Amino acid sequence: MGKILNSRLYIVIIVLLACIVLVLIVRSSFQEREIQAVAISTQTPEGTLVEYADSTKSADSWRWDFGNGDYSTDRTGKFFYPADTVPQHYQIRLQVDGKLEKKFIVNVMQKQKQAAMESLVRIKAPVTGIEGEYIIFRGEGNSKEWRWEFGETGMIDSREKTAIYRYEHYGAYEVLLETEDTEYPVRHIIVIERRYNDDDTLDIASMIGNEIKAKLQAIVDQKPFNLNYNYILKTYLCNNPNTPVVINNRKKNDFYSYCQGLRIIGRKKTQIDKVLIDMDEEGDYCITKLIVLQTDLEN
């Protein structure tokens, strides 16, 4: 009798386990994923350069169609529309794993129109971002006064030519830039996507910034100066100690003087909160500027 009961118990347990496995399989099959991708265009005298990247979790295959017959199956890369391309809006379509899809619009301009734009005030900034991340907005032009409104606070958020802003909420925002040379604000649209806690992907710039942040904090914490200073200098700055460092979007130093200052003020606690980078992607891929956000803490 006991053997029969034990057999029935085993059968019940096996059936329950099979049901749980089946539910998990069905759930994973119907779980929807969202594409996490960007396509950023830059106008150059030679044409329009598009830098594209996808960070969709668990993705295995990609197809970027650039609207002119060309395509790429790389996860990240660059694509170039020559200046003699017929000026128009091109639609870039990304397919992930053959079923997920996202579209981007790129404005391609002719060479003579690009030359006429050199004297205009323009905004250089990404078209997408993630809530909570620091985003760099650059003003281009010869103006002396810069007034940024990033569309979230309803007021002027920065008066620097290069501004840093962090959106607290996802959504689409219209960025306005006013100068003494513009009659009306220069406008830029940026879409801020929701941050997912289970997103374990980082772009290359964030990874580099995090490593430099750790090395700078080590200098503050009185750890071996030469070891940490020389690592950043040789690995990322192409041995240029005069690389500019912008601190808290206000003050500036050359890299060597900045690190020496960190070593001296290390006796009072300073926290390196964030490091953003500007990189020369047309030359030796050297970092041309560091933007450091830091906080002085009370002992």
Determine the pLDDT at residue 257. Answer: 93
pTM (whole model) above 0.75 = no
The one-digit pLDDT tens for each residue of the chain (299 residues) are: 555 545 666 676 776 777 676 656 645 544 456 888 888 887 777 788 888 988 888 889 999 999 888 999 999 999 988 877 666 778 899 999 988 999 888 877 765 544 445 568 899 988 888 888 888 898 988 888 999 999 999 999 999 888 888 898 888 899 999 999 888 999 999 988 887 654 444 567 788 888 999 999 999 989 999 999 999 998 888 889 999 999 988 889 999 999 999 988 655 688 999 999 887 655 456 788 899 999 887 65
* Cα–Cα distance, 236 to 119 (Å, whole number): 32
For the chain, list the domains and their CATH numbers: 35-118 (2.60.40.10), 121-198 (2.60.40.10), 204-296 (3.10.450)
CB 259 within 8 A of CB 229: yes
Determine the pLDDT at residue 86. Answer: 65
Burial of 19 (0-12, 13-18, 19+ CB in 10 A): exposed
